[in-house]
Structure 1
Amino acid sequence: MKPLGTLLLTPLLALLAACSGVPDGITPVGNFQLDRYLGKWYEIARLDHSFERGLSDVSANYARNADGSVAVINRGYNASRNAWSEVNGKAKLIAEPTLGSLKVSFFGPFYGGYHVAALDERDYSWALVVGPSRDYLWILARQRQLPGALREQLLARAGELGFDTSRLIWVSQDRPDG
């Protein structure tokens, strides 16, 4: 018979592991080059969630830490507060370094999945990123806007992956100080 602590801890560990897992049917990009992915990305679209609700001009900046992990700075403008909101985190590759699958933490030991499901492999100019479930989806780009045809291609790809693209929020990127 297992001790009570082990019985309680096992489901918790399984739940935490699931938070960084990849949704069924989605494979992160291969031939991923983390150093090329580093730098500033603008959030073009996202599925709504509480930690970014109401933010415009959202960007993410990724830089290599001395220990090989990635420093993450997410920043967005909160118009109701008339102020910028910023959060710092840390990301680590989950598997082999050529797989676009990371785990990101903004709150201590708790990590969430960050999986690059589609990527402009030539220029690294856009990315389709998913979280641990189909409740998390981001379209990112190196520029503040994407051409309409490319937006439609990414919407189609997200739909093929099982995301409800009608729920996407198209993020305003109009502030010159962003």
Structure 2
Amino acid sequence: MRLSNSLFFACGFIVASTGAGARSLPPVQPVNHVDLTRFMGTWYVIATIPTRFEKNAYNAVETYTLQPDGNVYTAFRFNNGGFGAPEKKIHSLGIVKANTGNAIWGVQLFWPLRAQYIVAYLSQDYRETIVARDARDYTWVMARTPTISPHDYAVLIDKVKALGYDISKIRKVPQRWSSDIVGKAGGN
């Protein structure tokens, strides 16, 4: 990705990240605890209220790597506009907020600005998660596999709605992978 596109996205995301809370809703409640070691690895984006940058994402995948200092290196990649479109990549740092059970991070695309990242739902088996923000502007429903059952999808979208999001803005992210590629992508 060219630097100008990266800076455009970063500036737009940061500006959107600094807005006031949505419709005076209470803050999003994070899960009690995230075992960061178990949380690391590949997460497929199943559905999202997307940022401007990812509105046309296909095969969207977020990969987390725990760093020695306890923060999280994030690598987000997707095909922009279709399955055969060029792959776009964004790298950032998730800075885990102290005393939050590892459930609240500040995602830093560049210093000094950070975007809010709240693990609002995490299944006990660490196979599905919802990342939210107090502003209720963006959300990500992710799973360890590129697809989930219609029942699981409906349950997760109901959870997003219960968080105070307008689910009419949800975009189901097209995912198409062969089984050998899923294994290589690190599907946990």
% identity of equivalent residues: 25
Bigger Cα Rg = 1
1:26-175 correspondence to structure 2 within 5 Å: 26-79=28-81, 82-96=85-99, 98-121=101-124, 123-175=125-177
TM-superposition CA deviations, 1:100-156 (whole Å, max 9, x none)? 1111111232110110111102x1000011024101111000000111111111111
SS in 2 for 1:41: strand
Q: CA deviation at 1:67?
A: 2.2
Q: Distance in 1 between matches of 2:78 and 2:92?
A: 15
Instruction: Return closer, same or farther for 1:149/1:172 CA change in 2, 3 Å cut-off.
Output: same
Q: Distance in 2 between matches of 1:21 and 1:42?
A: 29
TM-superposition CA deviations, 1:22-52 (whole Å, max 9, x none)? 8724210002211111100000000032121
Q: Distance in 1 between matches of 2:19 and 2:67?
A: 20
Q: Distance in 2 between matches of 1:104 and 1:20?
A: 16
What TM-score, normalized to structure 1? Answer: 0.81
Instruction: Return closer, same or farther for 1:68/1:20 CA change in 2, 3 Å cut-off.
Output: farther
The root-mean-square deviation of aligned C-alpha atoms, in Å, is: 2.5
SS in 2 for 1:173: coil
Q: Where does the alignment leave 5 or more consecutive residues of structure 2 unmatched?
A: 1-13
Q: Distance in 2 between matches of 1:116 and 1:41?
A: 13
Instruction: Return closer, same or farther for 1:20/1:99 CA change in 2, 3 Å cut-off.
Output: farther
SS in 1 for 2:115: strand
Q: Where does the alignment leave 5 or more consecutive residues of structure 1 unmatched?
A: 1-14
What TM-score, normalized to structure 2? Answer: 0.77
Cα contact 2:36–2:102 (8 A) shared by 1: no
Q: Distance in 1 between matches of 2:167 and 2:139?
A: 9
2:123 aligned partner, one-letter code? D
Instruction: Return closer, same or farther for 1:144/1:35 CA change in 2, 3 Å cut-off.
Output: same
Cα contact 1:20–1:111 (8 A) shared by 2: no
